[in-house]
Amino acid sequence: MSDVSKTHPVDPQRRLFLGVATTALAAGVGGLEAQAADAAAPSGGPLSDVPIVLPKTEFVYEAIFTLQDMIDIGPSPLGHRRIINITGGEFVGPRIKGKVMPGGADRQLIRKDGVRLLNALYELQADDGAIITVNNRVLIDGPANGPQYAFSHIDITAPEGPHDWLNRRMFVGTLHSLRPKPMVLIRVFSLV
């Protein structure tokens, strides 16, 4: 018996209440500690019970671009800048084909860590005459003459009509240099 209970007798009901309250408090603190431990050491799994559905892709087209020589624009706070003008080319896919129009350009930023960020804005002309605008943003990591990580996310804007399905999809792509020719190959896929 504690010194306090010897000098101040405690009602048995009050003793029961205090015992239950102390147990609940200890359980609550223990539960919070367990939650904190779980939060501090994630299992790497999903946060919910919703099944994970991996995105699938569907081939849309591949395009070969002819290019002018690279123009060095110089350094910036974000990295070194350069531009490559697009002079033409062609593209073909299961639902669409045509030519790459001259006048587009690939603006490039070479970051200090060596990663290259490309932002190519250009137009495609389908065989039926429709003009489609493409903004292709690519991230390239790895040596210029070795294996590279080179993937892109692509925004496509098509006019209303037979190609407006392009306005209702998300696109990703790959980029392959065709050196020593001044050409690149881009493959475009829709997420389905």
> Would you say residue 19 has pLDDT above 50?
no
Q: What is the mean pLDDT of residues 28-37?
A: 48
CB 184 within 8 A of CB 65: yes
What pLDDT was estimated at residue 143?
Answer: 81
Mean residue pLDDT across the chain = 84
Rounded distance, CA 185 to CA 174, Å? 8
Verify cis geometry, omega within 30 degrees of 0, for the bond prior to 180: yes
Tokens of 82: 């350069």
Percent of residues, the chain, with pLDDT higher than 90: 68
pLDDT of 156 above 90: yes
In this model, does residue 17 exceed pLDDT 60? no
Point out which residues pair with 120 in neighbouring strands. 106, 136
Do β-strands 183-191 and 171-177 pair in parallel, antiparallel, or remain unpaired? antiparallel
Residues 33-92 have pLDDT tens digits of: 545 445 554 566 778 888 988 999 999 999 999 999 999 999 999 999 999 999 999 999
Share of residues in the chain with pLDDT > 70 (%): 77
Residue 188 CB coordination number (10 Å): 22
Q: Give the largest Cα separation in the chain, rounded.
A: 100
The residues pairing with 100 across neighbouring beta strands, listed in sequence order, are 124
C-beta separation of 152 from 175 below 8 A: yes
Q: What is the pTM of this model?
A: 0.74
pLDDT band at residue 110 under the 50/70/90 scheme = very high
The answer to whether residue 109 scores a pLDDT higher than 80 is: yes
Nearest residue to 188 via CA among 151, 133, 147, 149: 151
Q: How confident is the model at residue 9 (pLDDT cuts 50, 70, 90)?
A: low
Please say if the pLDDT value at position 11 is more than 60.
no
Mean pLDDT of 99-108: 98
Q: If you average pLDDT over residues 14-28, what whole number do you get?
A: 44
Lowest-confidence range among 24-28, 87-91, 118-122? Answer: 24-28
Residue 185's pLDDT is what? 97
Cβ-contact 170, 48 below 8 angstroms? no
